[in-house]
């Protein structure tokens, strides 16, 4: 046997022999967060070991020393190690924080709302000593310069203000020197990208001379150019009905608002029979003048041939057109008036 190998064997025996002959303790099992100095794996009866808590854990109670007994067991320790906590963070103005816990090794992520810039660490961590790794960050507003002012216009700030910088969200209302008209955004503010919103323009607005309408007239015959918000009124000739707004207005765009139209009256196109108009019946030959206005309704009488009874069917005048219902039959001259649909029993 080689001398080196025999030496190794002796060494192994020397290590092994005490374990079998005497009771020994193994490395004690450790609770959460507990620590033990050294890497020793085997202890003899009577050996004492001092337990401690790892970094980031706080000892809470009980004796910390355990002793290896003659039976090869460790005495009980009542030491408990609890995770260290950091202080609860303050909420972040104009921002949000994301956190799950505030114990050792927890992290908090911070973000700022639109228009705000994060100053400081965006992530902080709870350290072993119960302190946050960094102070909480702040969200500071985006800064803009002074707003652009349109020619012949001004801005009235929402709150009094001096200096030459503005902050995100700060704004005002634009105004134009009369009679110029503000075209665009009336409101302006410092936006998230550090620029002011697009300013409006101050423009002269004129609408071309208003035109007549068919079968109607302007109440004031003033054929000139009109300014913004000026109005013109219309009326209709006799028997014509105004359809639409009576007044038009010169708009910002330089166009007039929608003009009204004058709608024509209708003639009731039947030669015999009665009609029902405004809850009264008339023989058509007595209906003088034979005319109803736009949108008015009359009824003519039709015959139900199976039941031999009459019934009224209404129809409306639409801009000079009055459709006589298809069921209406123009009676022949030889037919007795008393047998017309309007005169017989009604269904
Ligand atoms: C913080 O952000 C990191 C990376 O996006 C993510 O892994 C982590 O879970 C976040 N922490 C919290 C507490 O949400
Ligand atoms: C603001 O005013 C200060 C002095 O009053 C000047 O130094 C600075 O350049 C100005 N900033 C802007 C954006 O006009």
Q: How confident is the model at residue 220 (pLDDT cuts 50, 70, 90)?
A: confident
Torsion of CA 290, 242, 222, 251, to 10 degrees: -160
Instruction: Quote the ligand 2 centre to 164 CA distance (angstroms).
Output: 6
In this structure, the residue with its CA closest to atom 13 of ligand 2 is: 145
In this structure, the residue with its CA closest to atom 4 of ligand 1 is: 109
Q: Classify residue 18 as left (phi > 0), alpha (psi -120 to 50) or beta.
A: alpha
Q: How confident is the model at residue 60 (pLDDT cuts 50, 70, 90)?
A: confident
Residue that has been written with the tokens 């104009």 in this structure: 94
Strand partners, 144: 166
**CB contact at 8 A, 266 and 317:** yes
- In the chain, what are the helix, strand and coil shares in percent, each to the nearest 5? 5, 40, 55
Mean pLDDT score, 91-114: 96
Q: How confident is the model at residue 342 (pLDDT cuts 50, 70, 90)?
A: confident
In this structure, the residue with its CA closest to atom 2 of ligand 1 is: 109
Is pTM beyond 0.85? Reply is no
Q: Is ligand 1 within 6 A of the CB of residue 109? A: yes
Q: Is ligand 1 within 6 A of the CB of residue 98? A: yes
Q: How many residues are recorded in the chain?
A: 347
Q: What domains appear along the chain, each with residue ranges and CATH number?
A: 28-83 (2.10.70.10), 95-141 (2.10.70.10), 144-202 (2.10.70.10), 206-263 (2.10.70.10), 274-339 (2.10.70.10)
Torsion of CA 179, 180, 185, 190, to 10 degrees: -100
Q: How confident is the model at residue 331 (pLDDT cuts 50, 70, 90)?
A: confident
Report angle CA 229, 233, 234 to the nearest 5 degrees: 145
Task: Please report, for residues 84, 86, 111, 138, the alpha-carbon distance to residue 89 in angstroms, rounded to integers and kept in the order given.
Answer: 15, 8, 14, 12
Q: 286: which 2 tokens?
A: 């007595």
Q: Greatest CA separation found in the chain? A: 153
């Amino acid at each position: 046997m080689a001398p080196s190998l025999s030496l190794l064997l002796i060494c192994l025996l020397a290590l092994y022999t005490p374990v079998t002959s005497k009771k020994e303790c193994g490395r004690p099992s450790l609770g959460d967060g507990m620590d033990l100095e050294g890497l020793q794996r085997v202890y003899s009866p009577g050996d004492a070991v001092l337990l401690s808590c790892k970094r980031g854990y706080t000892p809470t109670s009980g004796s910390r020393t355990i002793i290896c007994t003659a039976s090869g067991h460790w005495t009980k320790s009542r030491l408990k190690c609890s995770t260290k906590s950091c202080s609860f963070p303050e909420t972040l103005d104009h921002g949000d924080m994301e956190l799950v816990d505030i114990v050792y090794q927890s992290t908090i992520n911070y973000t700022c709302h639109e228009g705000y810039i994060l100053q400081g660490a965006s992530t902080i961590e709870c350290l072993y000593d119960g302190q946050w790794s960094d102070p909480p960050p702040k969200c500071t507003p985006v800064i803009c310069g002074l707003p652009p002012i349109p020619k012949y216009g001004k801005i009235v700030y929402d709150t009094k203000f001096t200096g030459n910088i503005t902050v995100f969200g700060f704004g005002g209302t634009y105004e134009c020197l009369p009679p110029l008209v503000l075209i665009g955004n009336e409101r302006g503010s410092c936006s998230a990208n550090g620029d002011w919103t697009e300013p409006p323009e101050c423009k002269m607005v004129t609408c071309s001379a208003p035109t007549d309408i068919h079968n109607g007239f302007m109440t004031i015959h003033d054929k000139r150019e009109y300014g913004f918000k000026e109005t013109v009124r219309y009326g209709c000739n006799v028997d014509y009905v105004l359809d639409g707004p009576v007044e038009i207005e010169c708009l910002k765009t330089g166009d007039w608002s929608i003009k009204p139209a004058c709608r024509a009256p209708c003639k009731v196109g039947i030669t015999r029979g009665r009609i029902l108009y405004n809850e009264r019946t008339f023989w058509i030959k007595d209906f003088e003048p034979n005319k109803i206005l736009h949108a008015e309704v009359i009824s003519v009488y039709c015959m139900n041939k199976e039941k031999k009874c009459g019934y009224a069917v209404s129809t409306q005048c639409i801009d000079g057109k009055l459709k006589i219902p298809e069921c209406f039959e123009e009676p022949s001259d030889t037919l007795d008036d008393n047998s017309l649909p309007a005169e017989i029993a009604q269904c």
